[in-house]
A and B are shown apart, each in its own frame.
Chain A
Amino acid sequence: MPIADTDIEHRYSVDGSFEDPQPDKDDSLGGELSATEIPDDTLNNDMSDITSAEAAAGVTKYRGWMYVNKHASLTYIGPKMWIESQTSSADTSVAIGMAVEAKNLPIEVITNELTPPSTVVFSTPANFAAGLAVGDLDPDDYKGHWLKYIVTAGANAVVDTYTLAIRGDTNP
């Protein structure tokens, strides 16, 4: 069986031990791979609502997440990740950056959600060709990446949505 979408899990990070649960999406600020998947197509699966004070002043928040290959035997070959849909609000935007740590290692833990991870380069790839190289993932391999969510000052209240995508090759 080739690798299916469901074999590539997108999980929160946790400041704890490998595959500890991550009950709070707002605490996904680097560390080890957690056991908790990021629920797909769910509002606030990335962070809690931006408060009116934050929207008025403008704020930039960071999250550390990880992709893990849960296929039993196949390598996920040459995967790249990109921003398939930018934020639906004109007052916000997202950028992504790969963690500088090698795969299967915990990533930097940031002090709080407002602290940028050091040495991470953020960009806004919009298609596969511009996508960030994740590197081959053998079974159970994982690799961290960072998300930067930018709210400009005076942002209006909206239900904001964006979509990240990953695509790689697989042997049959």
Chain B
Amino acid sequence: MTLRQKLQEQFQSDLAKAPESITNKNGIELHLDKNQQIYVGYDKIPRKWALKLTKKIPLLFDFLLQSRFWVDREWIAAIQFPATNIPIFYEYCKKCKAPNIVGIWQQNTKISCRMCGKQNLVDIKSSLKSIQEILERLDIG
């Protein structure tokens, strides 16, 4: 089994033990999304502050939503210690700039941006020596 496979397997095991919800430091409750393998939650902000979001919604829904003043703002968070001790990073979509959460085992693989679907090559950089060592070993494995 390669290091990449071991990390993947360990993360799946950690994911099964992760709490169903957490509260972030802004007081917003985030729920575990097992498909995306991250925590997701929402708060409401005035629509005028979130014009960017409406651009991602199809026209019909956009029309219906225009009459509403508030819009849901999405928050995401990685699986946190002590649920997992495997390094996880934010990587930004090269097209839409949205943050995507990736595990260290995904280095040098392609992921689909969760917002726009563009394929992005994961390129994690860190100054932490222990992480550099894992990244080097992933390249070898």
Contacts and interface: CB of A to CB of B under 8 A. Distances in A.
Interface in A74-96: 83-93
Contact of B131 (A83, A87, A130): A130
Interface in B52-79: 52, 73, 75-79
Contact of A152 (B86, B97, B125, B127): B97
Interface string A1-44: 00000000000000000000000000000000000000001000
Interface size class of B (residues with CB under 8 A): 35 or more
Residue of A86, A98, A132 with highest tally of chain B CB at under 10 A? A86
Interface string B88-116: 11111000111101001000000000010
A52 interface: no
Contacts of B127: 97-98, 121, 123, 132
Contacts of B84: 127, 129
Given A127-B80, A129-B81, A159-B49, A84 B125 contact: no
A132 B128 contact: yes
Contacts, number: 104
A41 to B, nearest CB: 7
Interface in A157-172: 157-159, 161, 163, 165, 167
Interface of A: 41, 83-93, 97-98, 121-133, 152, 156-159, 161, 163, 165, 167
